[in-house]
Amino acid sequence: MTSPIHRSWATYTLLAAGLASVIGIAGCAKETEQQDTTKQQTTTLSIGFQKYGILPIVKAKGELEKSLAAQGVHVKWVEFPAGPQLLEGLNVGSVVFGEAGEAPPIFAQAANPNLVYVANQPPAPTAEALIVQKDSTIRSIQDLKGKRIALNKGSNVHYLLLKLLEANKLSLNDIQPVYLPPSDARAAFEKGAVDAWVIWDPFFAAAQHQIHARVLASGEHLVNNHQFYLADRKFAESHPEALKTLVSTLNQTTDWVKNHPNDAAKLLEKPTGLGFDVLKTSISRMGFGVQPISAQVAKEQQYVADAFFAQKLIPKQLVIQDAVLKNQLKK
């Protein structure tokens, strides 16, 4: 026969077990709730990048992910073949941040008022040039009269060509522009189907090393050839701290590339499919440092936009300053 003491102890044990169970369930529920809240607070920063440039190096080094994880930001990388496609991706929302040269943002701004300029690298005017075959009889810009010149329409080098012709009292009417993307232009150049080619790095460096192309004129003293970092306006204004971290990481990475060009070249060999020497030359012509857009840089980009409007490459006149991110990156 069970004694009252034993019955009381059994009852107490059952009650204690039940209470512990309830506390455990409540604790699990609270933990799950906290996990769900954390999950809900995680922001995805989708970055568009190309095979060559600073962003693929940032991706390879993996330090950005660690820095942003502490801010509840998850990094997603999306590769694009070129700047125009990348900025179209930004336009439709598949990415919220990316890098492009001077020309693609102008066309993107004309189509998408939600795009903002976030930061830029310093000028790299020698990273693009007008080149001819090593045995070409063309020796000066004046010799280009009536000649076929390959270029990517509406690109940075389109602006370079305009400035080169202008500096030598010529215009597009004095030459035969042949609008081709880089791969097709390289083939036409090698076959002699065009007399000259206006091109940027790393394609420029590849032509120098692989087929010994001769530089007729670079962008030095004529153009800036900035690299720009751009973002979706809503994301940029809603996540200033993440953007500051990203720009800081980009700046640190350009310092690393400047001080370790061999390592940077080796790191880019696989994604680009280009040789070490080609990449080393191309890297040497980069602009090092990433900073928020200054009034002067916006003014210089305005010149490019105005030139494209004058050539009827864009449908309306733009105000570059309208698309510059304001105050978000200041300390």
Q: Pick from 272, 128, 268, 288: which is nearest to 208 by CA?
A: 128
Q: What is the pLDDT of residue 38?
A: 41
Structural domain harbouring 309: 42-122+226-269+290-323
Whether the link from the prior residue into 202 is cis, omega within 30° of 0, is yes
Residues 65 and 114 in one domain: yes
3-state secondary structure of 98: strand
Edge-to-edge strand list for the sheet holding 196-200: 176-179, 148-151, 196-200, 128-132, 214-218
Domain endpoint, select from 159, 185, 218: 218
| Nearest-angstrom CA–CA distance, 296 and 33 | 50
CATH number reported for the structural domain that contains residue 66 in this entry:
3.40.190.10
Domain endpoint, select from 158, 192, 218: 218
Q: What is the pLDDT of residue 330?
A: 58
Q: What is the pLDDT of residues 258-288, one digit of tens each?
A: 999 999 999 999 999 999 999 999 999 999 9
Number of domains the chain contains: 2
Q: Report which secondary-structure segment, H or E, holds 195.
A: none
Average pLDDT per consecutive 10 residues, the chain (331 residues; last block may be shorter): 44 41 42 44 90 96 94 96 91 95 93 92 97 97 97 93 96 96 96 98 98 98 96 95 96 97 97 97 97 95 95 94 82 50
Determine the residue type at 41.
Answer: Q
Are the C-beta atoms of residues 280 and 121 closer than 8 Å to each other? no
**149 beta partners:** 177, 196
Instruction: Annotate 152-182 with b (16+ C-beta within 10 A) or e (fewer).
Output: bebbbbbbbbbbbbeeeebeeeebebbebeb
Burial environment of residue 249 by CB neighbours within 10 A (0 to 12, 13 to 18, 19 or more): buried
Q: Report which secondary-structure segment, H or E, holds 4.
A: helix 4-41
Within a domain: 311: yes
Q: What is the pLDDT of residue 113?
A: 83
Mind spelling out the 3-state secondary structure of 107-140? HHHHHCCCEEEEEECCCCHHHEEEEECCCCCCCC
Within a domain: 30: no
Instruction: Annotate 13-37 with b (16+ C-beta within 10 A) or e (fewer).
Output: eeeeeeeeeeeeeeeeeeeeeeeee
CA 70 to chain centre: 24
Q: What is the pLDDT of residue 111?
A: 87
Within a domain: 285: no
Backbone φ and ψ for 229, nearest 5 degrees, come out as -110, 125
Residues 67 and 118 in one domain: yes
| Nearest-angstrom CA–CA distance, 168 and 160 | 12
Within a domain: 158: yes
Q: What is the pLDDT of residue 112?
A: 82
| Nearest-angstrom CA–CA distance, 326 and 285 | 29
Within a domain: 260: yes
Which pair of tokens denotes residue 11? 């009852």
